[in-house]
């Protein structure tokens, strides 16, 4: 596999920069979109790093890349930790250069989960909110940011023009490969998402970690919460089957909590930890293999 330069591994100053960009594209319903000044205040325009991130993502997220990453990471031989310790390990991703927040990854995830719990959803839904970004530990295993976050999409077929910055796919070799550059590519009409290879990232990784333990509704939330070209634009209806369409209603339920539950007020981790440790014990094994 190609060796990447440092600026190709980390084009974003923080993974949260991608999430801020998603919020700019999909502002909270009924709430005016934030101005640029209300997000992060860096010396250089943030849009340049976002564009560079997507240029790299769209260039290198190939069918071959996805198969190689599955072969590597789905062995789950990198690290084994108790679940709460794994969430604390994720905290090492906090970026001190980020002027917008002092909250770490664990606090952000607790905010998401607590918002879900406050609305009275089932406890497995709450747990899903708590762990849904754990796959970002891929960055701690040396993965480039564009192989960890970003809008997710199918590989092995034509890239939709509904994906952000679609022009950058011109540099992706799959767009010139007749096996992959047609509407269906290696797939068939409404073959179902279980038969589709999605771009590699934290969503796909955590789905495979949890697929034997959580309800199917939770697995759809985890696997497709960044699949904006589908749950916002319906760009891949020709690949989804009727069961996928039914289950995507759960993705739609989850998405507002993922995007809109952040606030500057930190949750009290010590007070919440016993509840979430009990919830983890109810649904998940003692340790998670990463």
Looking at residue 46, its pLDDT comes to 57
Q: Convert the pLDDT of each residue in 36-46 to its tens digit.
A: 444 444 444 55
* Measured CA distances, 95 to 41, 98, 101, 103, 171 (Å): 14, 6, 9, 10, 30
- Give residue 32's pLDDT: 54
Q: Does residue 138 contact residue 163 with C-beta atoms inside 8 Å?
A: no
Spans of all domains in the chain: 6-289
Q: What is the pLDDT of residue 36?
A: 45
* 197 DSSP β-pair partners: 155
Render pLDDT for 237-263 as a digit per residue (tens, 0 to 9): 999 999 999 999 999 999 999 888 877
Strand residues in the chain grouped as ranges (E): 80-82, 154-155, 197-198, 287-289
pLDDT tens for each residue of 92-139: 885 443 434 456 889 889 999 999 999 999 999 999 999 999 999 999
Q: Collapsing DSSP states into helix, strand and coil, what is residue 160?
A: coil
pTM over 0.85: yes
Residue by residue, DSSP assigns 85-101 as: HHHHHHGGG--TT-TT-
């Amino acid at each position: 596999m190609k060796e990447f330069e440092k600026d190709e591994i980390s084009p974003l100053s923080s993974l949260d920069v991608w999430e801020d960009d998603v919020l700019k594209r999909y502002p909270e319903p009924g709430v005016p979109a934030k101005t640029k000044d209300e997000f992060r205040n860096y010396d250089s325009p943030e849009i340049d790093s976002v564009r560079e991130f997507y240029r790299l993502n769209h260039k290198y997220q190939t069918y071959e890349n996805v198969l190689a990453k599955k072969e590597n990471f789905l062995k789950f031989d990198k690290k084994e930790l108790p679940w709460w310790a794994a969430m604390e390990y994720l905290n090492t991703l906090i970026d001190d250069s980020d002027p917008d927040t002092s909250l770490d990854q664990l606090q952000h995830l607790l905010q998401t989960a607590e918002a879900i719990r406050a609305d009275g959803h089932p406890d497995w839904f709450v747990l899903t909110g708590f762990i849904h970004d754990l796959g970002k530990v891929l960055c701690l295993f040396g993965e480039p940011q564009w192989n960890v976050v970003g809008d997710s999409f199918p590989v092995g077929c034509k890239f939709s023009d509904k994906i952000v910055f679609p022009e950058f796919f011109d540099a992706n070799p799959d767009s010139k490969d007749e096996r992959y550059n047609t509407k269906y590519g290696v797939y068939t009409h409404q073959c179902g998402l279980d038969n589709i290879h999605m771009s590699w990232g934290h969503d796909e990784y955590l789905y495979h970690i949890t697929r034997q333990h959580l309800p199917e509704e939770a697995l759809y939330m985890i696997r497709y919460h960044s699949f904006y070209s589908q749950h916002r634009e319906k760009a891949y209806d020709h690949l989804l089957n009727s069961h996928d369409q039914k289950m995507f209603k759960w993705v739609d339920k989850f998405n507002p909590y993922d995007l809109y539950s952040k606030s500057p007020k930190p949750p009290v981790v010590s007070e919440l930890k016993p509840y979430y440790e009990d919830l983890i014990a109810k649904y998940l094994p003692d340790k998670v293999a990463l």
